[in-house]
Structure 1
Amino acid sequence: MTLQDLGYSNLLEQFKIEQNLDSLEIGRVISEHKERYVVKTPKTEFDAELLGNLRFTAESRYDLPAVGDWVAFSEYDNNKAIIHAVYPRISIMERQAVGKKGQIQIIATNIDFGLIVQAVDRDFNINRLERYLTICNASKVEPIIVLSKIDLLGESDLENIIHQIKQRIKDVTILTVSNQIAEGYDNLNQIIKKGKTYCLLGSSGVGKSTLLNSISGKSLMKTGHISTSVNKGRHVTSHRELVVMENGGILIDNPGMREVGISDLSDGLEITFETILEYTQNCKFKDCTHTQEKGCAVLEAVENGNIDSNSYANFQKIEREKLHFESSVLEKKKKDKSFGKLVKQVKKQRKQNKY
């Protein structure tokens, strides 16, 4: 194995030279556990922690390593390591942190393709597909839709689902697979390219870990038993993990996402809902909210069927979430600024009291 097999590029090599990092080793973060990281090199793996200065100077989550990152590190004592720096990222896939107002959660970094896995049985939900697409498009990650558990549907029902997707989602590759009858994996394997990184996205129980095992040809991830009542596997992936495949591809498995919270993803919305946004240019008013105004080209297109009404409703919902996230971020910044001023005042008062 070489660094290139892990996804190393000429841009990363250039950064290493420019920042004088030649004296440090380089590796890729394959898992993260509460500020402890596993860093993989072509030869081995290291249990790594952050250099104190890197931790204390970090201004936000973006300054700290995440799964998929390239890092500069120094080795000490039996595969232990200290991370000194994080290399620039080509992409950051993120969502709104669950239960944390105005905060983001990094799903993974340096991703080339997002494999959006949805089971065609009870889990199937086009609105959720559009949410994952928005995250991929905002991150400049190419999305690929993978429909799993196709053995649970008849051929006509499966064709109907694919037709529904194509009506609302344009120019995105759709693949179908079955873990039970081992169907569709030849097509999936053909899209896996050496040195490229693929991130598995989807809810719990849709078969992401089983899919990963099937692609690799060996049991890399534990899988849960299938429930006969709901046809869903028990969710077993508890953390993000990067795996290098025998065919040269690099996959990141993710815990199932019960919530796909939207953060500041303006570019992603514009790409995912391009058809809707094209109509906004013909609205009578520039500040049209596309909710009730007379002369709104979007509402007119929804009424005459040129825009899918369900897709429009999903767009409105995601747009509201984005705006709410942005206002939460501003509110948090104001609170942090006020707290900072208070700390300065207390320090100043204490200093005056000494004299």
Structure 2
Amino acid sequence: MKLEDLGYSERLEERRQAYDREHGLMQDRSATEPGRIIAEHKERYIVATGGGEVEAEITGHMRFAATGRADFPAVGDWVLVTVYDTDFAIIHSILPRSSILQRQAVGQFGEIQIIATNVDFAFLVQAVDRDFNVNRLERYLSICHASKVNPIIVLTKTDLIDAERLAELRSAIEGRIHDVPILTVSNVTHEGCDELRKHIEYGKTYCMLGSSGVGKSSLINTLTGGAIQKTGDISESTHKGRHVTTHRELIVLSTGGMLIDNPGMREVGLADATGGVEATFDRIAELSVHCRFADCTHTVEAGCAVIEAVEQGQIDRASYENYLKLERERSHFQSTVAEKRKKDKAFGKMLKNYHKQNPKQRDL
């Protein structure tokens, strides 16, 4: 497989050559070569290179210099590696990312979790039987818009409902979300799958976002033409999907596109969604410039153009309430990050003063 089949470009090659020149590797046999992270297993990575797939790990310098999760490789990343013995490699550097899909790390305030990188399109997958939720779609959209990733809504398991109900669901989405493609598919009858394939372009990277049990693994099997992913059932007791995909993996499709599968996400907290919420709720953003106060929160202020539009039925009330929820969540995350940085800075200052006052302790 050629690197171009994985999405390698001239821009990335220029970055690689610049790295080798900077580190004096151009005339050295240890010069790096590019590869793409296609799987991750507890800080051990599978990297696809021009010579095949190799297992890899990062250098000690990368680990020491990392200030957060974003400084470690993720599935979708282009990296520079030195390959040893054809089956093992060392990762030296991560090439600049064109996009980063991320969410708030579950149970870790102020921390982010990278979903995937260098993604062009995201399939927002929901099942029409139990999982359907427009609020969640707006949440996914905010993450996509913040990452400059193009969203495509995919409704699965359409064989479980009739045409009238499916039309109602489409109408519910179109009433609140505009200018985003909506595809409907059945992995049983394969209806709609050909239309989905038309949206997959050569050299582009796609990512699936959705809860467990919505049919992501079945959809991948349909697109690849083989049962390469395990599939699971809905729990009868909780009515929630069981996690079948346990790690992120990049799969090359026969159509030429690449698809990153992710474990199902029951919690999708917003991290740094700057610009994403505004893009998702663009009508609210447009009206906010007409509010009486520049710092209007659109909650209780007199002269708020957004509240007036909601009361007049120009903005869907459920969408407005979801907007307020996501805004509170985003603000809380940002304040948590600021507080965490403040504490880290104070701790670093305290440690520096301690070593200054106790120089012998520093050398122990």
The amino acid of 2:102's aligned partner reads E
1-structure distance, mates of 2:216, 2:84: 36
Correspondence for 2:229:
221
Correspondence for 1:148:
156
Residue 168 (structure 1) aligned with residue 176 (structure 2) = yes
Q: Which of 59-68 and 252-261 deviates more?
A: 59-68
Correspondence for 1:115:
123
For the structure 1 residues 238 and 353, does the alpha-carbon distance in structure 2 shift closer, same or farther, using more than 3 Å as the test?
closer
After superposition, what is the alpha-carbon deviation per residue over 1:117-175, rounded to whole angstroms, capped at 9, x for unaligned?
00011110000000000001110000000000111111011001001100100000000
Aligned partner of 2:254 among 223, 237, 246: 246
For the structure 1 residues 217 and 229, does the alpha-carbon distance in structure 2 shift closer, same or farther, using more than 3 Å as the test?
farther
Q: 1:331 deviation in Å?
A: 0.8
The amino acid of 1:76's aligned partner reads Y
Q: 1:235 deviation in Å?
A: 2.3
Q: 1:343 deviation in Å?
A: 1.5
Correspondence for 2:17:
17
Q: 1:297 deviation in Å?
A: 0.6
The amino acid of 2:17's aligned partner reads I
- SS of corresponding position for 2:206: strand
Correspondence for 1:90:
98
Correspondence for 1:300:
308
The amino acid of 1:7's aligned partner reads G
The amino acid of 1:9's aligned partner reads S
Residue 5 (structure 1) aligned with residue 5 (structure 2) = yes
Q: 1:60 deviation in Å?
A: 2.4
Q: 1:219 deviation in Å?
A: 1.5
Residue 340 (structure 1) aligned with residue 363 (structure 2) = no
Contact 2:245 2:264 in 1 (8 A): yes
After superposition, what is the alpha-carbon deviation per residue over 1:293-337, rounded to whole angstroms, capped at 9, x for unaligned?
111110000001000000000000000000000010011101111
Correspondence for 2:52:
44
After superposition, what is the alpha-carbon deviation per residue over 1:264-313, rounded to whole angstroms, capped at 9, x for unaligned?
21211111000111111111111211101111110000001000000000
Residue 101 (structure 1) aligned with residue 109 (structure 2) = yes
TM-score scaled by length of structure 1: 0.96
The within-5 A match list for 1:120-199 is: 120-199=128-207
Contact 1:192 1:249 in 2 (8 A): yes
Q: Which of 223-232 and 131-140 deviates more?
A: 223-232
- SS of corresponding position for 2:313: coil
The amino acid of 1:303's aligned partner reads E
Unaligned runs of 5+ in 1: none
Contact 2:6 2:252 in 1 (8 A): yes
2-structure distance, mates of 1:230, 1:95: 24
Correspondence for 2:215:
207
2-structure distance, mates of 1:195, 1:322: 33
Give the 4+ runs in structure 1 shifted more than 6 A.
Answer: 228-232
- SS of corresponding position for 1:19: helix
Contact 2:75 2:117 in 1 (8 A): yes
Q: 1:226 deviation in Å?
A: 5.1
Q: 1:349 deviation in Å?
A: 2.2
1-structure distance, mates of 2:152, 2:79: 28
TM-score scaled by length of structure 2: 0.94
Contact 1:177 1:184 in 2 (8 A): yes
Contact 1:48 1:82 in 2 (8 A): yes
Q: 1:345 deviation in Å?
A: 2.0
Q: Which of 82-91 and 12-21 deviates more?
A: 12-21
Alignment coverage as a number of residue pairs: 354
Unaligned runs of 5+ in 2: none
Instruction: Give me the CA root mean square deviation.
Output: 1.6
After superposition, what is the alpha-carbon deviation per residue over 1:207-244, rounded to whole angstroms, capped at 9, x for unaligned?
11110110110122111145578876532001111011
Percent sequence identity over matched residues?
A: 58
- SS of corresponding position for 1:266: coil
Correspondence for 2:323:
315
The amino acid of 1:17's aligned partner reads Q
